[in-house]
Structure 1
Amino acid sequence: MKERLYIDGCWVEAEVYADLYSPFSNEKIAEIPQASLEQVDDAIRSAVKNKHEIAEMTTYERARILERLTVLLTEKRDEAATLIALESAKPLKTAYGEVDRTIETYKFSAEEAKRNVGEIIPMDAAKTGAGRFGYTQKEPIGVVGAITPFNFPMNLVAHKLGPAIAVGNSVILKPATQTPLSAFFIARLLEEAGLPKGVLNVVTGRGSLVGDRIVTSDNVNMITFTGSPEVGKEIIAKAGLKKVSLELGSNAGVIIEDAPDLQKVAHECVIGAYSNQGQVCISLQRIYVMEHLYDEFLEHFRSEAAKLVCGDPLKANTDVSSLISAKDLTRSMNWIEEAKQQGANVLAGGIIENNVLVPTILTNVATTSKVSCQEVFAPIVTITPIESIQEGIAQVNNSKYGLQAGIFTQNIHTAFEASKKLQVGGVMINDIPTYRVDQMPYGGVKESGNTKEGIKYAMEEMTETKLIVWNQN
């Protein structure tokens, strides 16, 4: 499969191509165009030229395009899931879940497009406001530069494109180097759904070349980025005065005070820790269990983790497959070794089988170990006993990140205390921090980001609020 760039409604060859390999089998699966700076500039010019066409479309027309996209994606659900599994090594059952979420994300975008309204301002509430009538209206920000990660190559693209199209923006999309096929796939479906030519442009290549060109361009009005805090900080430094929306990393924690069914909680925690090989921004990385439940929970968790099937992502029964790259596999093993040298015990996993890091359980982990204080982005979880809820809250908050956290408790006062004191963007009561549905506000504090995603909230970021005041005196 030889892909092409999507610029100004045309599929364009590049002078240079890079081979794309399966993270699991290391087999070549595609040739990916490496956009030149001139081609990136062409994509930006196209987005600028065509931003007025999408902005001047009626809300009904934009919503209809997104609705048609959901129909097309539903028809091609099998093809889409297989593509995700092939390029990212996401297990097929999980890839199907991503496709279903992607469909929902575009549906929500179509619905929210119809609710993108301003408000009436009571001008006469001010001493000098008598005889004046004011209101606001939402206007598209213009050209959006979207830079997306590998871990949800279809749904996180949807979280950029859906809101942007809904409010009438044009987009330059730069997908992750390892997972561009999903982005090209969606571009073709949007073309078929009737999106005007040039409203969406897709360019691939090195982030330091392609991404930087988009970020630094004065013709791009907003950057929306999902990825690491390190890259997020670089984007902020380079972007100038344009708006920048960042959804960054985490080392999400959960507190377990009590539960009527501890085995069920352990099962949920296993899903939260190991889904997509732990390559989820809100993957459950740190578990804090009240001391009197610790041994029982540990046994349940180990038993549930042992049921996971590791192997080929294209097999229907696989639960855990390869990390996105050999570099990440090496890093993860080094972090496990560091934790062991600092006193950690490996209760399960910690080994590589058939190019897959076996789901790993660590206990007695130092808070300074990278597997605890950094974002591990691998199937590794730490489990720690605590003596009080206050200790658990302090441990979760002992992080430079703050995306989401969870707590299992039957005590309503404990739940309210945790929801108030946990320093995160979202608190899940009696659930894992990995829980997310696509219409909810999603974003963190500290180094986990600076804005909110979720369709309605992303649309707010992607619009400008204009005030209109009528003087009736």
Structure 2
Amino acid sequence: MKMRPGTQTGFLLCGKEWTDGEAMEVRSPWDQGLLGKVTVATRKDAREAVTHAVASVRRTRALPRWKRKEILEDIAAALIEQKERFAQLIVAEAGKPVRTARIEVERAILTFKTASEEAIRLGGESIPLDLTEGNEGRWGLVQRFPVGPVLAITPFNFPLMLVAHKLAPAIAAGCPVVLKPAPQTPFTALALGEVILKAGWPEEALAVLPLANEDTAWLAEREDRLKLVSFTGSAAVGWGLKARSGRKRVTLELGGNAALILHSDWRGSDVDQSQALEAVANRVAIGAFGYAGQSCISVQRVFVERTIFQTFLWKLVERAAKMVRGNPADEATEIGPVIRPADADRIEAWVKEAIEGGAKLVEGGGRDGSILQPTILTGTRSGMKVYDEEIFGPVVLVEPYDYFEEALAMVNRSRYGLQTGLYTRDAGRIMTAFRELEVGAVIVGDTPTWRLDPMPYGGVKDSGLGREGVRWAIEEMTEPRMLVMAGM
């Protein structure tokens, strides 16, 4: 896989790199320099990929568990060996700060290692059926089988880790995959595809196809030989794909405007509390502004009990002002560029709209090309885009509350529900939040940005459908089948 200015890289189909066709330029989010070109697959190419995927189902389904485990272990080993190569690809394509890019590679390694373990745990269940007279000697066996070819669609912001979350469970389950990576970050996905095939996964069971969005939608709608569509991206696109996917299974990991609740009981004495608030402010700053806020669980709304509101707010301002912005290739950089200049324009416009609507700019608001200052707003409300929608930029809203139940209601006053962070020491409040919050996960003692890759991950409302995390994704990619035995 090459990525040099002017060099054209082909898409991956049946183990070969195909360069015939229209080329798409891939540019650096940092300086808009040309990174390289990639061949765009056509509908004909996509149909051919599906044909090969269908033909490979019998082979992938028959791969013994030890072989799937071995393939996944070899992929993880290759990523360990090539860690810096993949980190630099992520920096170049996605504009992710290099320290954060290395963490992404580590997360992908963990995902493949976890999948290697889950591949041999994929078992069944024996069920007694001699429960009524006349059924003596009857029993049943339930086992999970791969659903078949999977269409996987991934976004730009985690070009390795989120691809791993599609491919690792598919390999563990025995499902062929047609992968459509984000147009901004195709090279990382193509490099991973080469690693996977070199590890022994059947060539016809993996295609990595940079496709036009309309051709991807056509594939989801018209190609009934695909059995599952697994999409990570925006809510509007995800729900549109689901509406067009007919009888296919669909899993959606979509966006959010993740909230955090900070209650005054987080630490006891005044001295301890001051230190505790400083630690929380540090975590919020990283969760809200790291990688320019381009994560679906980036901290966007922070609700703070009024008695500690001002103290926390200024600690957050102090931490935000110290964050290093600049070239993502520099080791010190914490905040790099947003993925496109158009996204910087949108974020800037949303902040301006909020201020004109009565919000107060506490910190930031400036911009240098595609790099935005970490921005803190207060006095925001429902009806403002920064409050209602997913900003996907380095902007956080900080608002006070008087009663814990009020904070819960403020979190739920959203069409999204992915993850929520919660800082309180009270077990009753924790369980109330766990019961009442309309989200996929409640993270106690940390921000909603925290995620460990083996855990079940997904949301409710407009934030998605189904769960990722290796074990749960394997369940989505398999279906239970029952064998009933009589008189044996």
Report TM bin, short chain.
over 0.9
Measure the CA separation in 2 of the matches of 1:199 and 1:238.
24
With over 3 angstroms needed to count, the CA separation of the structure-2 counterparts of 1:231 and 1:393, relative to structure 1, is: same
CA displacement 1:263-304 (0-9 Å, x = unmatched)? 101111111111221111111100000000001000111111
The amino acid of 2:445's aligned partner reads N
Measure the CA separation in 1 of the matches of 2:135 and 2:171.
36
Alignment counterpart, residue 161 of structure 2, candidates 151, 155, 158? 155
Alignment counterpart, residue 483 of structure 2, candidates 461, 468, 471? 468
Structure 1 contact 215–223 (Cα < 8 Å) conserved? no
- Secondary structure class of the residue paired with 2:182: coil
- Secondary structure class of the residue paired with 1:23: coil
Measure the CA separation in 1 of the matches of 2:208 and 2:55.
15
* TM-score, normalised by the number of residues in structure 1: 0.98
Deviation at 1:321, TM superposition (A): 0.8
Provide the residue aligned with 2:457 in structure 1.
442
Provide the residue aligned with 1:110 in structure 2.
116
The amino acid of 1:100's aligned partner reads E
Q: Which consecutive residues of structure 2, in runs of 5 or more, have no partner in the other structure?
A: 268-275
Alignment counterpart, residue 394 of structure 1, candidates 409, 414, 431? 409
Structure 1 contact 141–464 (Cα < 8 Å) conserved? yes
Deviation at 1:359, TM superposition (A): 0.7
Give the paired residue count.
473
Measure the CA separation in 2 of the matches of 1:211 and 1:76.
34
The amino acid of 2:339's aligned partner reads I
Alignment counterpart, residue 74 of structure 2, candidates 59, 64, 68? 68
- Secondary structure class of the residue paired with 1:173: strand
Deviation at 1:215, TM superposition (A): 4.5
Provide the residue aligned with 2:142 in structure 1.
136
Alignment counterpart, residue 264 of structure 1, candidates 279, 284, 294? 279
Measure the CA separation in 2 of the matches of 1:97 and 1:42.
36
1:304 maps to 2:319: yes
Measure the CA separation in 2 of the matches of 1:253 and 1:130.
56
1:320 maps to 2:335: yes
CA displacement 1:325-356 (0-9 Å, x = unmatched)? 11111110110011001101111111112530
Structure 2 contact 20–39 (Cα < 8 Å) conserved? yes
Provide the residue aligned with 2:214 in structure 1.
208
1:422 maps to 2:428: no
Alignment of 1:314-463 (within 5 A): 314-463=329-478
Measure the CA separation in 2 of the matches of 1:329 and 1:251.
18
Deviation at 1:173, TM superposition (A): 0.2
Structure 1 contact 284–434 (Cα < 8 Å) conserved? yes
1:48 maps to 2:60: no
Provide the residue aligned with 1:291 in structure 2.
306
CA displacement 1:352-392 (0-9 Å, x = unmatched)? 12530111100111221111110110000000000011110
How large is the RMSD of aligned CA atoms in angstroms? Answer: 1.2
Deviation at 1:217, TM superposition (A): 0.5
Provide the residue aligned with 1:237 in structure 2.
243
Measure the CA separation in 2 of the matches of 1:6 and 1:254.
42
Percent of residue pairs identical: 38
Measure the CA separation in 2 of the matches of 1:305 and 1:32.
37
Structure 1 contact 256–290 (Cα < 8 Å) conserved? yes
Provide the residue aligned with 2:177 in structure 1.
171
Measure the CA separation in 2 of the matches of 1:172 and 1:349.
42
Measure the CA separation in 2 of the matches of 1:247 and 1:383.
26
Structure 2 contact 217–244 (Cα < 8 Å) conserved? no
- Secondary structure class of the residue paired with 1:139: strand
Provide the residue aligned with 1:22 in structure 2.
28
With over 3 angstroms needed to count, the CA separation of the structure-2 counterparts of 1:181 and 1:249, relative to structure 1, is: same
Structure 1 contact 24–313 (Cα < 8 Å) conserved? yes
Structure 2 contact 341–369 (Cα < 8 Å) conserved? no
Alignment counterpart, residue 196 of structure 1, candidates 181, 196, 202? 202
Measure the CA separation in 1 of the matches of 2:189 and 2:370.
26
- Secondary structure class of the residue paired with 1:198: helix
Structure 1 contact 346–361 (Cα < 8 Å) conserved? yes
1:187 maps to 2:193: yes
Deviation at 1:190, TM superposition (A): 1.0
The amino acid of 1:448's aligned partner reads S
